[in-house]
Structure 1
Amino acid sequence: MPNGLAYLMLMIWPLVSLVLFRTLKLERALIWSILGGYLFLPPLAEFNLPFVPAMDKVSIPNLSVLVILAFAMKQRVDLIPKSRAALWLVAGLILSAIPTVLTNSDPILFEVLSTSDPIVFVTDQLPGQSLRDVGSVLIAQMLTLVPFLLARQFLASEKGLREILLALMVGGLIYSVPSLIEVRLSPQLNVWIYGFFQHSFEQAIRGGGYRPFVFLPHGLWLALFMCTALLSAGALARHTRAVDRWKMMLLVGYLAVLLVMCKSLASLLYGAVLLPVILFVPARWQIRLAVAFAFVAIVYPMLRNFDLVPLDAILAQAEAVSTDRAQSLGYRFFHEDQLLARAAEKPLFGWGGWGRSLVHNPETGEILSVPDGRWIIVFGTFGWLGYICEFGLLALPLFLMGLYIHRHGDTALSPFVAPLAVILGVTMMDMLLNATLTPFTWLTAGAILGHAEKLMPHARVGPRHPIERDVVLGKPAVRSGKRTVF
């Protein structure tokens, strides 16, 4: 049970965000309002108000920055993507709530038959969804996309992209202190400060010691965040003056050691493979690698639905690396199969919220399935429509960047967009195993989309007007006013 401080932190975060916008540059204030809330606000604590989604460490920062930019800062907020594909995917992701709610009005009953008489006893039930739930789910979907849409407008420049990398690195360095404390003493900071532990303590014990959680939902979330901090530090080191590069490489080494101490094999492999890519591989190949990651992340769930993934071969390869990891992966595959069978009953629009997409004991209502990957959660909740729109919207910026370098090369690219593309791509890959979609993932995707829109020709939406010249990343670019066609 969260204590009073947990709810107090949620309540004052809009004021914290306002102070950030009053004292920092807009780009930095936007980033730290989102990232700071994700890192330091309590997990699981939330305000449940009627007719609106739960207000928690995700929705409160998102709503705060939107209101501040629209009213307190007097900024012209443009939430409409210029890319037609992005516009359709945004609309589809938000509006997918409507058919999902309308097709799940029936309650799910858990029943026991009497042994002597044909009498049915209802032991428990999951309520159906009604029209009043449409507004709540619509608002939740819109709030989820706030970082994506604001980053597209305000963080698409070279300056904004660098600020994202810098924030990830600084955030990793700040988080290293509580992480090291928890590595030594076990994950206790959330208990000491907010009054509760956010997960099963068994999940914190690894390799004869502990892996840190701090204020994130799980140690896997923290390990992935440290991986992105490491990759960001590598990207900044690559583009630092040669005379100062050794200082940045010391930070890279420090974050690499910290990533090892997080004791997550997947994140450690990501960091070990991708850090050399960030440091030495040309930008165009980094983007192509990110596109490949996004392609796998989208195609894998489709192949799983049609039972075309060689699970036995994958488990055999995992067994060669680690027996424990193979058992963990087999556990995930088993529950994926159960959840896929459940989702197949309502494939188009899903089962909706409140745990309706999970597998339950038909008599007691006990939950029998454990959803790990983000894709299976989205697929079970919102069906094919929600899955295609969410994963498509995350992958679209990478595909657009890949299309641009295929047509025009990488001469006009910001040096910071390629490492961010790699970070987004590997996060999408991790979402096949874990539900590690965070507000900062959306913010990164939005910044890359905005950069792609700046680079692509005919990116402006609006009436025809004479061709004008603008400057994009220090180079002249021609805009014609036609609606984009990509």
Structure 2
Amino acid sequence: MPNALAYLMLLLWPLVSLVLFRRLPLERAILWCILGGYLLLPPVAEFDLPLVPDMDKFTIPAIMAFVLCAGLLHKKVPLLPHHPLARVLMVLFVFAVVPTVLTNGDPIIFEVLAGSDPIVFLTDMLPGLRWRDLGSVMINQVIVLMPFLLARRYLSSPESQKELLLALCIAGLAYSLPALLEIRISPQINTMVYGFFQHDFAQTMRQGGFRPIVFLPHPLWLALFMFSALMACTALARAAQGPRRLRFGLASLYLFWVLFLCKSFASLAYGLSFVPLVALASARWQIRVALALAAVAITYPMLRNLGLIPTEAILAQAEAISPARAQSLGYRFDNEAILLERAAEKPWFGWGGWGRNLIRDMETGAIVSIPDGHWILVFGTFGWFGYLAEMGLLCSPLLLLGIEIRRRRGRDISPYSTAIALILAATLVDMLLNDTLVPMTWLCAGSILGYAERLRDPTLFTRSRPLFHGRQILMPQPPSSRSRSRI
């Protein structure tokens, strides 16, 4: 049960966001408002308000960043992408929930027969979806897109992409300190600060030690974040010159050590695979790998339905590496199989919310399936329409960037864009195993989409103020615009 401090932090974050937007340049304010909320606010704790989505560590920072950018600073945030494909996918992402609600108005009733008597006892019921549920779900879809829209406009230039990677690097280095403490003493920080433990404690014990979790929902979330910070630091090291390259290189080695101690096989595999690409490969090869991963992510449900995913061979390989990890992976595959059978009953628009997509005991209503991957949650809830809209919107920036890199033959490409693309692609693959879609993922997708659109049309966005001063990049500023250079 979250304590009073947990709810107080949620209430105070709008004030923290206001301070950030008054004191920092716009790009940094957006980044630290969303990233800081993700890393510091309490998990699980939320305000359950009527007719709107739950207000928690994901929604509050996204709303505040968007409102302060558009309302306080009067900055324009275009609501639709410029490219037709991304525009169609965004509209579909918001409105694909309409047929889901319209086709799930019937309640799901759980009942038990009283012995041999023709008496049926109602044990539980999942309500059907109503018009007010449609409003709530559509509002949630819009809130989810807010980081995406902000990043497309204000985090898509090469300079602001450098800011994004630098924020990930700094946050990773700072977050490594409480993470190392939890590796040493066991995950206790969330309990000490917010008065509760946010997950199953057994999930934090691996290989005779502990996996850190700090203020995130699960140890796997923290490991994936450390992987993202490692990728960001490696990209900055490659682009830097002189002593800065050495400092970023040493920071990358340190973050890789922390990632290893997080004891997450998947995130460690991402690090071993993608860090050399960021450090050594050309932009064309980096985007090719990102596109290949995106293709696997978006077609996985189809391949799984057709039996083309060699689950037995994958389990055999996992068994050779770690029997415990193979057992965990096999459990995920088993749950995927039964949830796919459930989703096949309503393949186009899904079952909707209230846990209607899960497998339950038909007499008691108790949940007997545990969905792990984000893809099966979306696929079961919104069907093919919702799944293709979400995954298409996340994958389309990689496709558009790949087209632009091919058109330019890899020349004049930001060294930061492909690193962000690989972070996004790795997260898409991880979403096949875990529910790891977070606001930072949408920031990465929006940044890539905006950058690809800038390459196609350099006049699409205009800058009204400098992002850097001093020894950094200096850009002209109109005399009438208000200076926001304090950091």
**Alignment TM class, shorter chain as reference:** over 0.9
Moved more, 336-345 or 98-107: 98-107
Partners of 2:372 and 2:192 lie apart in 1 by: 27
**AA paired with 1:170?**
I
Q: What do you get for the CA RMSD once the two structures are aligned?
A: 1.4
Partners of 1:257 and 1:106 lie apart in 2 by: 52
**AA paired with 2:40?**
F
Structure 1 residue 114: Cα displacement: 1.7
Moved more, 441-450 or 319-328: 319-328
Map Cα deviations across residues 103-122 of structure 1 (whole Å, 9 max, x no partner): 11111111101212121111
Q: Is the 8 A contact 1:453 1:459 kept in 2?
A: no
Q: Is the 8 A contact 1:83 1:459 kept in 2?
A: no
What residue is the counterpart of 1:339 in the other structure? 339
Map Cα deviations across residues 282-309 of structure 1 (whole Å, 9 max, x no partner): 1111111111111111112211122221
Matched position secondary structure for 2:110: strand
In the alignment, structure 1 residue 404 sits paired with structure 2 residue 397 = no
Matched position secondary structure for 1:358: coil
What does 1:44-193 align with in structure 2 at a 5 Å threshold? Answer: 44-193=44-193
Runs (5+) with no aligned partner, structure 2: 462-472, 475-487
Structure 1 residue 459: Cα displacement: 8.3
Q: Is the 8 A contact 1:79 1:150 kept in 2?
A: no
Map Cα deviations across residues 4-26 of structure 1 (whole Å, 9 max, x no partner): 11111111111111111111111
What residue is the counterpart of 1:284 in the other structure? 284
Partners of 1:141 and 1:326 lie apart in 2 by: 35
Matched position secondary structure for 1:259: helix
In the alignment, structure 1 residue 243 sits paired with structure 2 residue 237 = no
Matched position secondary structure for 2:449: helix
Map Cα deviations across residues 31-67 of structure 1 (whole Å, 9 max, x no partner): 1111011101111111111111111111111111111
Matched position secondary structure for 1:145: helix
What does 1:175-254 align with in structure 2 at a 5 Å threshold? Answer: 175-254=175-254
Q: Is the 8 A contact 2:77 2:149 kept in 1?
A: no
In the alignment, structure 1 residue 448 sits paired with structure 2 residue 451 = no
Structure 1 residue 245: Cα displacement: 1.8
Q: 1:314 to 1:196 in 2, by over 3 A?
A: same
What does 1:242-391 align with in structure 2 at a 5 Å threshold? Answer: 242-391=242-391
Q: 1:144 to 1:45 in 2, by over 3 A?
A: same
Partners of 1:222 and 1:167 lie apart in 2 by: 16
Partners of 1:50 and 1:363 lie apart in 2 by: 30
Q: 1:53 to 1:244 in 2, by over 3 A?
A: closer
Q: Is the 8 A contact 2:80 2:90 kept in 1?
A: no
Q: Is the 8 A contact 2:283 2:405 kept in 1?
A: no
% identity of equivalent residues = 57
Map Cα deviations across residues 219-244 of structure 1 (whole Å, 9 max, x no partner): 00000000110111100011111333
Partners of 1:386 and 1:77 lie apart in 2 by: 24
Map Cα deviations across residues 110-136 of structure 1 (whole Å, 9 max, x no partner): 110121212111111111111111111
Partners of 1:175 and 1:364 lie apart in 2 by: 43
Map Cα deviations across residues 383-425 of structure 1 (whole Å, 9 max, x no partner): 1011000000000000111111222212121111011111111
Structure 1 residue 458: Cα displacement: 9.2
Q: Is the 8 A contact 2:294 2:425 kept in 1?
A: yes
Q: Is the 8 A contact 1:187 1:211 kept in 2?
A: yes
Moved more, 159-168 or 95-104: 95-104
**AA paired with 1:337?**
A
Partners of 1:261 and 1:9 lie apart in 2 by: 29
Structure 1 residue 248: Cα displacement: 1.5
Partners of 2:5 and 2:26 lie apart in 1 by: 28
Partners of 2:302 and 2:147 lie apart in 1 by: 27
**AA paired with 1:455?**
L
Map Cα deviations across residues 358-405 of structure 1 (whole Å, 9 max, x no partner): 000111111111111110010011110110000000000001111112
Partners of 1:459 and 1:47 lie apart in 2 by: 42
Partners of 1:105 and 1:299 lie apart in 2 by: 29
Structure 1 residue 312: Cα displacement: 1.0
Q: Is the 8 A contact 2:39 2:215 kept in 1?
A: yes
Structure 1 residue 460: Cα displacement: 5.2
Q: Is the 8 A contact 1:82 1:459 kept in 2?
A: no
Matched position secondary structure for 2:43: coil
Matched position secondary structure for 1:395: helix
What residue is the counterpart of 1:480 in the other structure? none
Q: Is the 8 A contact 1:126 1:356 kept in 2?
A: yes
Structure 1 residue 249: Cα displacement: 1.3
Q: 1:459 to 1:84 in 2, by over 3 A?
A: farther
**AA paired with 2:242?**
A
Structure 1 residue 324: Cα displacement: 1.0
Partners of 1:51 and 1:274 lie apart in 2 by: 42
Partners of 1:423 and 1:453 lie apart in 2 by: 19
Q: Is the 8 A contact 2:187 2:213 kept in 1?
A: yes
What residue is the counterpart of 1:40 in the other structure? 40
Matched position secondary structure for 2:359: coil
Matched position secondary structure for 1:388: helix
Matched position secondary structure for 1:112: strand
Structure 1 residue 94: Cα displacement: 0.7
**TM norm structure 2:** 0.93
Partners of 1:457 and 1:13 lie apart in 2 by: 37
Moved more, 243-252 or 395-404: 243-252
Q: Is the 8 A contact 1:336 1:371 kept in 2?
A: yes
Partners of 1:381 and 1:204 lie apart in 2 by: 29
**TM norm structure 1:** 0.93
Partners of 2:232 and 2:48 lie apart in 1 by: 36
Structure 1 residue 357: Cα displacement: 0.5
Partners of 2:267 and 2:458 lie apart in 1 by: 39
Partners of 1:307 and 1:79 lie apart in 2 by: 39
Partners of 1:111 and 1:15 lie apart in 2 by: 49
Moved more, 71-80 or 418-427: 71-80
Partners of 2:460 and 2:223 lie apart in 1 by: 39
Give the number of equivalent residue pairs: 463
